Amino acid sequence: MHYIPQKSRYDKMLYRRCGKSGIKLSALSLGLWHNFGGVDTFENGRNIIKTAFDNGITHFDLANNYGPPPGSTEENFGYIFKKDFSSYRDELIISSKAGYTMWDGPYGDWGSKKYLVASLDQSLKRMQLDYVDIFYHHRPDPETPLEETMSALDLIVRQGKALYVGLSNYKPEECAKAIQILKDLGTPCIIHQPKYSMFERWVEGGLLDLLGKEGVGCIPFSPLAQGLLTNKYLKGIPQDSRAAKSHGFLKAEHITEERLNQIKVLNDIAISRNQSLAQMAIAWLLKDHRVTSVLVGASKPEQLEDSLKALDNISFSDDELTRIERILL
């Protein structure tokens, strides 16, 4: 059956300007880091993407290495795009990234012009697109001159393969240098994608201030701290959780008694706000006007619908913020 998106899709979504750029992003964006690869159920991923667009999410965030196996998420997205979304291309912001290991040999990783240009060419083929809206350098490269990496981003825009460029995982000092180089080249950095949540707050040590000052948008990933900021861990570590499996980024040893207590008390505040813990964690990031959008993942459409309810209440009283700070310190 041919997919027809909801007519009312733009009615409830909040859109925020991305830094000083001309585009606005949906307050929630869909991250395709997990659940959309070759090992995952294709139809489930397809339904999540449709649910996102039906609810006004216009931004879909990918990377060359998303899978597993690497590249398979972009490939799957390409099939879904062609089948369901090709007539809505101009309503979508699609992003990809390069910076982590993608293929064998010395040119399949990091930040050389050779790697970035080749990687985006591959990504466009996999996604069956002529261009991406945003192309990111996924992580800083300590060995390649920053000028080379940034000139690759500039070249990609001039070639028409990306409309805008962004950075991810850059610390404040290297981010400031990169922003300046891009500005001088005439292809401004419009967005930065850092790991940021109630439990991971390094961006508050200068990066957010820098982005605010330079007019660069911020789009946090892992807003739920790999599931810690959900009701999943309220009674300890469940058998089917990422922490129990101990693969990936969340390990059982991250979940201390102290951490579990924090989760419980934060959950009490969320309940008093008529929110789930996950909804409050997303709202807490959006309370800052420098945060353009929050990247959420989803393992099923219902999970995404639940995250969307965070937008029903993104303002916090001074008392709530004080109580949350006390718990997190």
- 243 domain residue, yes or no: no
Cα distances from 188 to residues 7, 32, 142, in angstroms, run 34, 25, 22
Q: According to the model, what pLDDT value does residue 234 have?
A: 87
Closest CA to 267 of 291, 235, 220: 235
**Higher per-residue pLDDT: 256 or 31:** 31
Q: According to the model, what pLDDT value does residue 255 have?
A: 82
**203 in Cβ contact with 218 (< 8 Å):** yes
Bridge partners, residue 95, by sequence: 61, 134
Q: According to the model, what pLDDT value does residue 251 have?
A: 66
What string of DSSP letters covers 218-248? E--B-TTGGGTTSGGGTTS--TTSHHHHT-S
For the chain, the average pLDDT equals 95
Percent of the chain residues past pLDDT 70, beyond the cut: 95
Q: According to the model, what pLDDT value does residue 224 have?
A: 97
Mean pLDDT over residues 81-110, rounded?
98
Give per-residue pLDDT as tens, 96-119: 999 999 999 999 999 999 999 999
- 74 domain residue, yes or no: yes
CATH number at residue 172: 3.20.20.100
- 170 domain residue, yes or no: yes
Lowest mean pLDDT: which of 97-101, 229-233, 313-317? Answer: 229-233
**233 in Cβ contact with 241 (< 8 Å):** yes
Read off the pLDDT band of 18 (50, 70, 90): very high
Cα angle 151-58-158, degrees, rounded to a multiple of 5: 20
Domain that holds residue 29: 15-227+289-301
Q: Contacts by 199-204 with C-beta closer than 8 Å and gap 24+? A: 199/225, 199/228, 199/229, 199/259, 199/328, 200/225, 201/328
Sorted by sequence, the CB contacts under 8 Å of residue 147 that are 6+ apart come out as 181
Give per-residue pLDDT as tens, 27-59: 999 999 999 999 999 999 999 999 999 999 999
Lowest mean pLDDT: which of 240-244, 280-284, 291-295? Answer: 240-244
**126 in Cβ contact with 166 (< 8 Å):** no
Kindly tell me if the per-residue pLDDT of 242 is higher than 70: no
- 318 domain residue, yes or no: no
Cα distances from 303 to residues 42, 44, 69, 119, 278, in angstroms, run 17, 12, 24, 31, 10
Q: According to the model, what pLDDT value does residue 247 have?
A: 52
- 9 domain residue, yes or no: no
- Integer Cα distance of 267 and 242 in angstroms: 20
**Burial class for 212, CB neighbours closer than 10 Å (0-12, 13-18, 19+):** middle
Q: How many domains does the chain have?
A: 1
Q: According to the model, what pLDDT value does residue 233 have?
A: 86
What string of DSSP letters covers 278-292? HHHHHHHHHTSTTB-
- 284 domain residue, yes or no: no
Query: What size, in residues, is the chain?
Result: 329
Q: For residue 288, what are its two tokens?
A: 């800052």
Q: According to the model, what pLDDT value does residue 237 have?
A: 73
**263 in Cβ contact with 229 (< 8 Å):** yes
- 60 domain residue, yes or no: yes
- 141 domain residue, yes or no: yes
Q: According to the model, what pLDDT value does residue 246 have?
A: 53
Bridge partners, residue 30, by sequence: 60, 296
Kindly tell me if the per-residue pLDDT of 243 is higher than 70: no
